[in-house]
A and B are shown apart, each in its own frame.
Chain A
Amino acid sequence: MTTTAVARKPVRWSRIALHLGCLAALLVMLYPLAWLLATSLKPADEVIASLDLLPSHLEWSNYGTAFEGVNDVSVWRLLSNSLLIAGGAVLGNVISCSLAAYAFARLRFRFRGPMFAFMIATIMLPHHAILIPQYIIFNKLGMVNTYWPLILPKFLATEAFFVFLIVQFMRGLPRELEEAARIDGCGPFRSFFQIVLPLTRPALITTAIFTFIWTWNDFFTQLIYLFDPDKFTLTLALRSFVDASSQSAFGPMFAMSVIALLPIVLFFLAFQRFLVEGMASSGLKG
């Protein structure tokens, strides 16, 4: 406070310049989103021929075409497939990661140190190093072209990033409550479910939101595991649009892109505080 008071006048002008700079940067940043929205409403002949960002009239039929879907699979089907996978992943991550995190944060057991180190190391592990054997395993189990390979790993706490996130959060909780409960005869299970878990809610919400968004956006895993068009997610359906993209399909393709982005935008607007703070804390305690 005292430092800014030293030179008030020049500071005010630099403030305005700062805001102008930030707004200009923001316009550039948001251009791709504006372009997406505008193109999704453009008539077919204006998509490439016209240089204007805004369409001459709003072509809502693009959305009608988009809702018919791709490969005879309606958007509703694709949307519910995507939701099913993302919902399963959220449930799996929240349950399995919080269980593992509680053990690492609060309980004593043999090989705790090495196992914790291994867990941290798997955060850095490139997914591709284990991709092929995982594929072979799921293939042997007859699970290729089902949603199991996309959901089951989440129930086994394979996303160590979230285990770490929740461990960090739990370590910050005061131990007194649990100790008092233990003296009163409360075992680790009751202590977990009745004391620690309710207090960990912010970290669980962060885990849930990030899992949802990352699973929703995921492309690679879906690409290798899913073949049937009626099992496709919105992401995969959009991809088959690319393969067959004549210019006339541009409007419907981007209409579907908007539909695919909408859940993320809504999640972002609803939970931005959790997202931004979750991201910030992940970096500071690391």
Chain B
Amino acid sequence: MTTTAIPTARERAEATTPKRRPKREREGAAWVFLSPWVLGASVLTLLPMAVSLYLSFTDYNLFDPPHWVGLRNYTQMFTEDPRYWRSVLTTVTYVVIAVPLQLALALVVALALKSMKRGKAFYRSAFYAPSLLGASMSIALVWRAVFNDGGTVDNLLGTGGWVNRPGWSLLAVALLTVWQFGAPMVIFLAGLQQIPAELYEAAAVDGAGRWRQFLSVTVPMLSPVLFFNLVLQTIQAFQVFTPAFAVSAGKGGPADSTLVYTMYLYDRGFVASHMGYASAMAWVLLLVIGVVTAVLFRTSRSWVFYASEGDR
């Protein structure tokens, strides 16, 4: 394998030329490697962020030039648009239901699989599969049918189709997210397997029962992974779109009960062509996600335990 790396005599002679050259060459080379990323980050990320901030202070319909309106998009959003607040409430409700349920299920299954000797790999893969399939339109359509009037859930529970009941429709969407608990579960499981067995043995020697071991060893050792999952799933949940879109057949109904934030943003920007208003919504979403992440990080200092801290 290393034969290709063996240099010819000429190359070896070149390598002995002044020492500084390779270093400067490396700096130049670095920018060659980085160039696609630099182009993407500036033209497709930074520039759009600046543009959308600007557009959020304008009236813009994609065809006529943007028209500066100051804070009107924001004041309209916060004070005159009940559908906006409805979408905020719907999204927060969805996040609060889906994320804890999903993570709790992921943790329980990971704990169940941890000490399993046979079949662990099989269960791990099988439980993980929905995480790959669940984002698809196919599964969203299944969900709509299963939770519709006369669908499986209606027949089983006699509740009527959840999809058509304002109080229940969002729960159907949330359950589609909970169904995809495999991804955080796999991360939990990997985290659990990294906890040194000596810690449990030491705890057992000290007379700790299984519950005590769970609280005093598993929870603190797993808290960084739990934190990672919490941040990741929360951020993703705030941006939910496809399941809400498909379960409500693209309408966010019934009675706007599944009109999540990004669906309303899509509706304002791409259906109603209020790009300025949609940009303002996008920036509020960005700020809210930033604040929520910052709060999670701040509170994490009191409950996330990083093992390396103990070395000090």
Binding site for B on A (CB under 8 A): 2-4, 15, 18-19, 21-22, 25-26, 29-33, 35-36, 39, 48, 51, 95-96, 99-100, 102-103, 107-110, 115, 118-119, 122, 124-137, 139, 153, 155-158, 163, 177, 180-190, 192, 194-195, 198, 213-214, 216-217, 219-220, 223-224, 234-235, 238-239, 241-243, 245, 250, 253-254, 257-258, 260-261, 264-265, 268, 272, 275-276, 279-284, 286
Contact = CB atoms under 8 A, between A and B. Distances in A.
Interface in B42-82: 43-45, 47-49, 51-52, 55, 62
A261 B138 contact: yes
Given A26-B126, A155-B36, A264-B132, A130 B44 contact: yes
Nearest to A30: B126
A141 B265 CA distance: 24
Nearest to A213: B132
19 contacts: A22-B112, A22-B123, A35-B142, A107-B26, A126-B282, A129-B48, A129-B285, A134-B48, A135-B270, A136-B51, A137-B48, A156-B36, A220-B266, A254-B141, A257-B142, A260-B136, A261-B138, A280-B187, A283-B225
Contacts of A279: 128, 131, 183, 186-187
A122 B286 CA distance: 11
Contacts of A281: 190
Contact of A131 (B2, B25, B246, B282): B282
Main secondary structure of the interface of A (DSSP, over half): helix
B137 A239 contact: yes
Contacts of B12: 184-185
A96 B286 contact: no
Nearest to A127: B239
Interface of B: 1-2, 4-7, 11-12, 14-15, 22-23, 25-27, 29-34, 36-37, 39-41, 43-45, 47-49, 51-52, 55, 62, 109, 112-113, 115-116, 119, 123-133, 135-139, 141-146, 150, 152, 155, 179, 183-184, 186-187, 189-191, 194, 197, 200-201, 204, 225, 228-229, 232, 235, 238-239, 241-242, 245-246, 249-250, 262, 265-266, 269-270, 275, 278-279, 282-283, 285-286, 289, 293
A128 B239 contact: yes
Contacts of B194: 284
Nearest to A33: B133
User: Most chain-B CB neighbours within 10 Å: which of A137, A183, A188, A223?
Assistant: A188
Given A35-B146, A118-B41, A109 B30 contact: yes
Contact of B52 (A130, A180, A189, A268): A130
A156 B39 contact: yes
A240 to B, nearest CB: 10
Contacts of B127: 25-26, 29
B45 to A, nearest CB: 6
Given A99-B37, A100-B33, A124 B235 contact: yes
B133 A157 contact: no
Given A36-B142, A261-B138, A126 B286 contact: yes
